[in-house]
Structures are given as structure tokens and as C-alpha cells.
């Protein structure tokens, strides 16, 4: 089962869950423009490579998001197919996350040039 969570729930859980892992499935160009600190970028298009999925383990609580919510649902179903069960789909994706006050956004300006 994939649990849907609001963006503010993700932000509230971040400091309290040592197994929390943020998986950002947006394209690299979207990711470098702004993402959560410690988020792992795994674009949905790369999830066909089993080695990319193998970097995660079943004990992690995976919070998956994209820009608005469509790609993250697909990504969650791919993780589920590979035996992952601690899955959370962040509703509204980056669009919702980026609107939360006091959330630490990382921008990789060197990668943008």
C-alpha cells in the first residue's frame, strides 16, 4: 500500500524519522533548480534500471515526490513492484513542498550554468 501524505507532513516528519528518505523523481534539470536538503534524485525515466532501485533498502521510509503528483504515483508503484512497502506519495509534489515556510531548499547553481 502507498500512503498519501501532505507536503507539510513530510516536512514535520523529516527531523524525527531517522529512516526517512526523500526520493525526488523529477528530471535532473528540475532537481537542480530547487530540492529538499538530502533528497535523492532518481528521475522516473531512470527507474527502469534495477541498479538505481537497488540503492534503496526495505527499512527506509521512502517519501516520493515529483513536481505535481503524477510521476510520483508511478514511481511508488515501481518501488512496490520491487518489494518496497514503506512508501509515501507526497501530494502536490514540489509545487506544495516549495510553498512551505522554513523548508530548506537547495539550489545547485553550478549545475545550472
pLDDT of residue 1: 82
pLDDT of residue 108: 86
Contacts of 25 (CB under 8 A, 6+ apart): 42, 43, 44, 47, 64, 65, 66, 71, 72, 75
CATH of domain 2-102: 3.40.250.10
pTM, 2 dp: 0.94
Q: What is the pLDDT along the chain (113 residues), one digit of tens a residue?
A: 899 999 999 999 999 999 999 999 999 999 999 999 999 999 999 999 999 999 999 999 999 999 999 999 999 999 999 999 999 999 999 999 999 998 999 998 765 54
pLDDT of residue 110: 64
pLDDT of residue 109: 75
Beta-bridge partner residues of 24? 41, 65
Please check whether residue 7 is in contact with residue 97, taking contact to mean a CB–CB distance below 8 angstroms.
yes
Domain ranges of the chain: 2-102
Amino acid at each position: 500500500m502507498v500512503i498519501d501524505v501532505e507536503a507539510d507532513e513530510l516536512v514535520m516528519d523529516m527531523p524525527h524519522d531517522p529512516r526517512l528518505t526523500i526520493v525526488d523523481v523529477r528530471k535532473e534539470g528540475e532537481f537542480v533548480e530547487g530540492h529538499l536538503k538530502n533528497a535523492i534524485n532518481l528521475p522516473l525515466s531512470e527507474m527502469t534500471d534495477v541498479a538505481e532501485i537497488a540503492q534503496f533498502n526495505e527499512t527506509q521510509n521512502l517519501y516520493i515526490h515529483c513536481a505535481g503528483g503524477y510521476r510520483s504515483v508511478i514511481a511508488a508503484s515501481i518501488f512496490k513492484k520491487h518489494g518496497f512497502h514503506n512508501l509515501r506519495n507526497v501530494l502536490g509534489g514540489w509545487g506544495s513542498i516549495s510553498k512551505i515556510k522554513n523548508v530548506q531548499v537547495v539550489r545547485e547553481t553550478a549545475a545550472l550554468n
